[in-house]
A and B are shown apart, each in its own frame.
Chain A
Amino acid sequence: GAGVSQSPSNKVTEKGKDVELRCDPISGHTALYWYRQRLGQGLEFLIYFQGNSAPDKSGLPSDRFSAERTGESVSTLTIQRTQQEDSAVYLCASSLDRGLVETQYFGPGTRLLVL
């Protein structure tokens, strides 16, 4: 594929429901990141995966948030019992590896609205 893809592009859900967001990184990229972008705010780091290493979950805001990644491919971000403050754009990025100088390539994001 040409770039990072995310689905769905938009998601509207009711408070208390669970949602699952998907990210397909660029083929061959071993590092994968999830960010949250609230309206008018910068990007907030959530979690990253690097190969088979344990993920860095230091940015997850609560235990309602979790993410998985299958090998070096698809990742899913799950938000359980959604709250209105979870409304945001969720961005996924990938890079060749977790090297500090590597450029991250971003997907178009999933816009989540919790009613």
Chain B
Amino acid sequence: SQWGEENLQALSIQEGEDVTMNCSYKTYTTVVQWYRQKSGKGPAQLILIRSNEREKRSGRLRATLDTSSQSSSLSITGTLATDTAVYFCANTNTGKLTFGDGTVLTVKP
């Protein structure tokens, strides 16, 4: 199936826990981006990691990229209830920006 056709995966954790979400992509990519989408809103970009970077950090977020396995991960440390959202990765090659299937993260207070 195409990316974006599968039902979203779901994760439910307690506030304060750390979480890691994974994503794999099928085509050569130069950039992977991670997005967060809250209910009723469009996605908002969280972090961008390039093909020549293995890791990128931004506050409580850490993204990794493994070009050999064509996979990326997003970790959130010390989760908050406000981190509850759907998280997507997206990869791009020559301007075509394609989103992965996404993970529904619920952080319980």
Q: Do they bind each other?
A: no
Residues of chain A having any CB pair with chain B under 8 Å: none
